[in-house]
Structure 1
């Protein structure tokens, strides 16, 4: 068994234009004061990290890491959720996803894709320079608009979609492999990698690439009514990153999984602050510990009711209370020792 690391916090939902959220120093002090031990850094927040510079300069990475460490914190992972999303975009989403890219490549899907691939690769180089072993991202995809098969999907469509997705990602996965870093895809509705079966399809399409792994976030499984505990039994060997995020699903006679286009607070499925939803974190932490998952427990806050300030304050102690100090010996070790066959025969009456 292995003790999970944490508590840590994903900075994406807290970064902003006002102090202390507008600088790395400010956010580090804020996180440390709240009791966090690690931070997951979103690479699109340029006031927190210059990922292109980090890919070029070991000195810059050493200084960045040193700054974070000076606050008693560690960098858990870098995140390219937004750039990873842009590696593979169906044209129906071009207009909405263009906002994730710099103006120089907007209205130009080919240039946007090239920029996204380059930026994710740079994040892999930066992760290696920072001594990180895992990286958090989205897969993007081409098939989400066909997730509910009406009209019926033509034969071969799904296979072609995953072949193309793998084609986009294989050079990135190979690049990360060169730097000793795992790519952890957040299994998430809207992405082509949205459940276990779709992850398996992608894994097969990449030739079971050893760097294709999972960021486990149970909130997204609650919203699609997937068994998030058995998921760990199936895929624990691939879980190399962990978002601690709560959610609830309360279907009515008017709406269910799809939510009727309602706002977040009015949907049947919605995200909640830690402890306010339906996720069984005790069982999750137990399973991840049992399976020796070497991950940081990183809070991601997206509650539709509670303020981010309160959510951040409550997050660190919540995670700390769930981290299990893994047992180094079994309670019945007293019965151990070398095998004595004659003694065993006596016990068995042989």
Structure 2
């Protein structure tokens, strides 16, 4: 369905629904096989694919009846290039995110080009992939949200920069990821050192006078 994302003349009614119905028919047996093996299948959501954002993923998920093995590979760089809120995406789909590509990107639209890039080379596009730390992705916020939701998978560096060499990108990228990894708290900072509940103290604080039954 991707060639019909922004068509003119307008696409005929039912075209997208037919395409997604066919996708579901082809993928359901594979998802069932993944279930038999106890393995998650993770779709990398990005432009060029029918599943390119949250809405298209939800359409597909509905048609495969919310299959438990239908999950996501999270890569914020693809959302930077679309102008999609990649942090709220985690809030919406964290229970389906099972893989994580740590890849940076930047989007700097001009009077000449925007999301579509004007058929320019990667280096000359408004939206382009960058080495870790050189783009606009807020990885501190991403790692915080993933930790908040209990993500326990790998943080995998993916390099596709059009400016910096892969060797330098790898040297800088590994420690960059390490600096973002969060050790989750084991208890709240204000839980009074895990003290047991003292009902009498609670009653006194609230001014509640209790009478024995």
Distance 1:335 1:308 in 2: 47
Alignment-derived partner of residue 39 in structure 2 = 181
Alignment-derived partner of residue 23 in structure 2 = 165
Q: Of the two structures, which has the highest relative contact order with CA contacts closer than 8 Å and spacing of 6 or more?
A: 1
Distance 2:135 2:172 in 1: 14
Distance 2:167 2:194 in 1: 51
Listed as ranges, the matches of 1:110-259 within 5 Å are 143-259=1-117
Residues 193-220 of structure 1: CA distance to partner in whole angstroms, max 9, x if unpaired? 1000111011001011100000000000
- Please report the TM-score for the alignment, with normalisation by the length of structure 1: 0.58
Secondary structure of the residue aligned to 2:27 is: helix
1:349 to 204, 207, 213: 207
Alignment-derived partner of residue 318 in structure 1 = 176
Quote the offset at 1:336 in angstroms.
4.2
Quote the offset at 1:338 in angstroms.
4.1
1:345–1:151 CA distance, 2 compared to 1 (3 A): farther
Distance 2:203 2:4 in 1: 63
Distance 1:321 1:335 in 2: 28
Alignment-derived partner of residue 281 in structure 1 = 139
Secondary structure of the residue aligned to 1:270 is: strand
Q: Which has the larger radius of gyration?
A: 2
- Please report the TM-score for the alignment, with normalisation by the length of structure 2: 0.94
Quote the offset at 1:287 in angstroms.
0.4
Distance 1:231 1:202 in 2: 16
2:123 to 265, 279, 283: 265
- Number of residue pairs aligned between Structure 1 and Structure 2: 208
Quote the offset at 1:148 in angstroms.
1.3
Alignment-derived partner of residue 297 in structure 1 = 155
1:275–1:334 CA distance, 2 compared to 1 (3 A): same
Query: Which ranges in structure 1 are unaligned for 5 or more consecutive residues?
Result: 1-142
